[in-house]
Structure 1
Amino acid sequence: MALRVLVDATDVPTDRGALGRYVDGLMGALASTGVDLAVACQRSDEERYGRLAPGATIVAGPVALGHRTERLAWEQSGLPVVAELVGADVIHMPNYTMPLRPGLPTVVTIHDLAFFTDPERYTPISGMSLKSATKTAAVQATRLIVPSNATRDELVRVLGIDPAKIDVAYHGVDHRLFHRPDEIQVSRVTARLGLHGKPYVAFLGSLTPRKNALALVSGWAAAVADLPAPPALVLGGGGGWSPELDEAVAQVPPHLRLIRPGYLPFADLPGFLGGALVVAAPSRGEGFGLQVLEAMACGAPVLTTYRTALPEVGGNAVAYTEPDADSIAVALRALLDDPERLMSLGEAGYARAQEFSWEASAAAHVACYKKAADQRVPRPAS
């Protein structure tokens, strides 16, 4: 009899983001692993998961799940009921939190521990919430899934968790969405950005302090200010804009161009990433580094940092910098002055990205689910 797994996708935000791409990619791949899949989701995602995971049982929760407080309350009381109704053997919680009394073996994904190791990058409320959820999962979950060896090692070091309880499952990349773009895709995106084929450095992600857009703005400006045709900087994404970032932007020399398009449609991402001179991802640390992998899959040269999980993703196929503005300026200028290296990085990154797939990630998740199911305590006979 196939293992029945309930995945709680109710925490996926409207803009999808990295969490949405993780859950979406995993659902599509789990559907072909032989597990009997059930998905709890927000009503707005019911059709989406029905399409991504044909044959899965899709359970849409109450309308109020779009509000975090209501979703967390439903997670405690409603999700265990859904698990019983669908006859689940295992519950998978893909974003830190879990019911305190799930009634079943429960697997929780812990993406990173930056709120422990780099707490000043978080608001007090969000940091406290993530710390509490992670500590609870460390004790209550049957097993933990992490996207990298770096995150596993942090869990062991910071919280003293038995490494035997932790399974590593690298993320994949959707090669149908993230691929080398053709000239039409690139020209369409640059036209929408107002660049019309002019060169640019791309950043994609939230503008929160951990992603380090602040240092990138200053580093880019220093790197390109004296070039005869300086490339623009495009900060794709949203959230986390701060007064400090405003100040850095205000200090950019007037002859340089910085563009903030906000969230970009998924269909534009290959053209945006693959059309860039460089994709800059100078993060202070990542649990995995999905944006780096996606840029590599689009054939883009990538500049990132040698922090936490990023070297596990980039290997020798990306360029590295320290996360401070001066180091970014030096590393970025060296790349811009070396077109041959840019080309070789694009080729190497594309080749390395082919090694990551959601099918491989799903197989690692299924192995974890089976370990969790084997740890189920039989109910006493009535």
Structure 2
Amino acid sequence: MPERYRPIPAAPLRVALGAVSLSAPLTGIGQYTRHLAQELAALGAAPHCFLGAHWAEVVTADAPGAGPTNAPPGAVPLSVWRTTARHLLSGSWLARVASRTMRARRFRIGLPHDAALYHETNFLPFGDVGLPTVLTAHDVSWLRYPETHPAARVSLLRRHFPRALRHADRVIVVSDFVRTELLDLCEVDPGKIRVVHNGVSPAFLPRSPEALRAVLARHGLLANRYLLALGTIEPRKRLSTALRAHQQLPVALRRQVPLVLAGIKGWLTSELEREMAQAVARGEVRVLGYVPDADLPFLVAGACAMVYPSIYEGFGLPPLESMACGVPAICSNRSAIPEVVADGGILLDPDDIDGFSDAMLRACEDAPWRAAIGERALRRAQYFSWQRCARETLDVYRELVGSPAHGAAVEGL
């Protein structure tokens, strides 16, 4: 092992975890980071999270949706840091460099002295810090579909990601699909790559209409009387297909079963907003925006179906969350989605508006069909868990800084 690596510390294994994505509101990478950190802590890996403005201990498992706590006195609030960072990243190239340089300095100042390794969960490590380094690559959509991303993000990743791949000791990818993409599009040693699938929170489970009523009422919804499209609103999600397919349903059904869009507003959304304006005005489309983590499992469990026509996903958490609730997932057949969904949902070409519309109609009107799909979905969803994700991630750590004491703990799970 190279000399720059430090000796393996005494238990517990201390992991320096890049966790800027934990700043609320959580998107898919934030959910990955939060659940991974919680489960690693349960396995004794003692993650210490870098949030961009400061370091903090991992968020506790009994506080879903909360960000990590224990910020030092005088630390910049996460919301302020996130807003400032976004402002800087939307500015000049010099401002983006300054922002990343400032974060890298904060990272090095607060790096735990007893850290055995550094795991960056969001593509780009903060440089060589003298530790074995693991990075997670969630997809390479910015290479396949650069037009669906802000130009600043594409520029940042093109500039820094190749070096990150070269210097990382291990590269975790969240699906076999992403492994293939990395090998096809990037220069990377295949021996570094480890596939570790994402998991699904146990909060996503089937629920009775009575259990759903209070939460759905806060959002003006009724159980089994809406179709749900979940995720950041941005071009890659191909929400225009969901919108057009819904508009092909009978008028009375569109009014009784609206299409509900849940997720933060992302980027390049003006065309979609123009297209759906009239349907929103008629009440046939509902735009909820960001839904709190505590409400999300109820919102998913109450839907007739999840509609997810994304053209590119490295994994696809929303369909899996839908499947874990026994709710049919009507999905794109591209990228990693078939790998995750398998026979637990309906897979269609994301441009097949008629196919999506037919499946949405059946989900609304054919209860036995919906139940049969839901049973298959539940069986498939059992394959995935955040506990399994954390155990397999810890195995990757042990390849670099293996500890017999931790091996015994893991084997007993």
TM-score where L is the length of structure 2: 0.81
Q: Structure 1 residue 111: deviation in Å?
A: 0.5
Residue from 189, 210, 232 that aligns with 2:236: 210
Structure 2 CA distance for partners of 1:230 and 1:52, relative to 1, 3 Å = closer
Change (3 A) 1:59 1:161: farther
How far apart in 2 are the matches of 1:327 and 1:45?
48
Determine the C-alpha separation between the residues in 2 that align with 1:71 and 1:32.
33
Q: Distance in 2 between matches of 1:326 and 1:356?
A: 31
Which SS does the other structure have where 2:159 is aligned? helix
CA displacement at 1:78 relative to structure 2: 2.9
Specify the alignment match of 1:190 in structure 2.
Answer: 216
1:101 offset after TM fit, Å? Answer: 2.5
- The amino acid across from 1:257 in the alignment is E
The aligned residue for residue 158 of structure 2 is: 131
Aligned amino acid, residue 79 of structure 1? F
Distance 1:15 1:81, change over 3 A: same
Classify 1:51/1:43 alpha carbon distance in 2 versus 1 (closer, same or farther; 3 Å).
farther
What's the offset of the Cα at 1:274?
Answer: 1.0
**Aligned partner of residue 248 in structure 2, secondary structure:** helix
Amino acid at match of 2:300: L
Q: 1:311 aligns with which of 338, 350, 353?
A: 338
* One of 351, 363, 375 as aligned partner of 2:391: 363
Matched with 1:116 is 143
**Change in 2 beyond 3 A, CA 1:186/1:157:** same
> What SS does the corresponding residue of 1:172 show, helix, strand or coil?
coil
Q: Deviations over 1:83-125 (max 9, x none)?
A: 3x43112100100111223221111111100000111111211
Q: Which residue pairs with 1:173 in the alignment?
A: 200
Write the distance in 1 (CA, Å) between the matches of 2:254 and 2:275.
22
1:335: Cα distance to partner? 3.9
Match of 2:322 among 295, 302, 314: 295
How far does residue 208 in structure 1 lie from its aligned partner after superposition? 0.5
Query: What does residue range 48-67 of structure 1 map to in structure 2 within 5 Å?
Result: 49-52=58-61, 60=71, 62-63=75-76, 65-66=81-82, 67=84
Moved over 4 A (4+): 42-47, 57-62, 226-230, 253-256
Instruction: Determine which of 33, 38, 54 is the counterpart of 2:43.
Output: 33
Q: What is the identity, as a one-letter code, of the residue corresponding to 1:274? A: A
- Residue 31 of structure 1 deviates from its aligned partner by 1.3
Unaligned stretches of 5+ residues in structure 1: 375-382
Name the SS for the 2:294 alignment partner. helix
Cα displacement (A) at 1:6: 1.1
Between 1:296-305 and 1:325-334, the stretch displaced more is: 325-334
Q: Aligned partner of 1:78: which letter?
A: R
Q: Structure 2 CA distance, aligned partners of 1:278 and 1:198?
A: 8
Whether 1:329 aligns to 2:357 is yes
Take 2:32 and 2:376, find their aligned partners in 1: how far apart are those partners? 24
Cα pair 2:54 2:106 within 8 Å, conserved: no
Query: Which position in structure 2 is the counterpart of 1:232?
Result: 258
Q: 1:266 aligns with which of 280, 293, 297?
A: 293
Letter in 1 for 2:374: G
Deviation at 1:229, TM superposition (A): 6.5
In the superposition, relative to structure 1, how do residues 264 and 145 fare at CA in structure 2: closer, same or farther (>3 Å)? same
Shift of 1:166: 0.7
Q: 3-state DSSP class of the match of 1:39?
A: strand
Within 1, Cα distance between the matches of 2:133 and 2:109? 14
Q: Offset of 1:305 from its aligned partner?
A: 0.9
RMSD: 2.8
Structure 1, residues 287-327: CA drift from partner, whole Å, max 9, x if none?
11111111111221111111111112111010111112344
Counterpart for residue 145 of structure 1? 172
Change (3 A) 1:10 1:216: same
In the alignment, structure 1 residue 350 sits paired with structure 2 residue 360: no
Contact map agreement 2:224 2:302 (CA 8 A) in 1: no
Report matched runs for 1:100-111 at 5 Å: 100-111=127-138
Q: Distance in 2 between matches of 1:326 and 1:118?
A: 24
Q: How far apart, in 2, do the equivalents of 1:11 and 1:73 lie?
A: 17
For residue 36 of structure 2, what is the amino acid of its counterpart? L
Aligned partners of 1:264 and 1:181: how far apart in 2? 18
Distance 1:268 1:253, change over 3 A: closer
Instruction: Measure the CA separation in 1 of the matches of 2:141 and 2:213.
Output: 37
**Secondary structure of the structure 2 residue equivalent to 1:307:** coil
SS, match of residue 48 in structure 2: strand
Q: Alignment partner for residue 276 of structure 1, among 299, 303, 313?
A: 303
What SS does the corresponding residue of 2:129 show, helix, strand or coil?
Answer: coil
- In the alignment, the residues of structure 1 paired with residue 69 and residue 115 of structure 2 have an alpha-carbon distance, to the nearest angstrom, of 13
Indicate the residue corresponding to 2:17 in structure 1: 7
Q: Is the 8 A contact 2:233 2:266 kept in 1?
A: yes
Q: Is the partner of 2:347 in helix, strand or coil?
A: strand
- CA shift digits 1:185-223 (9 cap, x unpaired): 422233223244571101111110111222211111113
Deviations 1:225-274 (A, max 9, x none): 46486511111112136221122213549766111111112222222111
Q: Which residue of 2 aligns with 1:377?
A: none
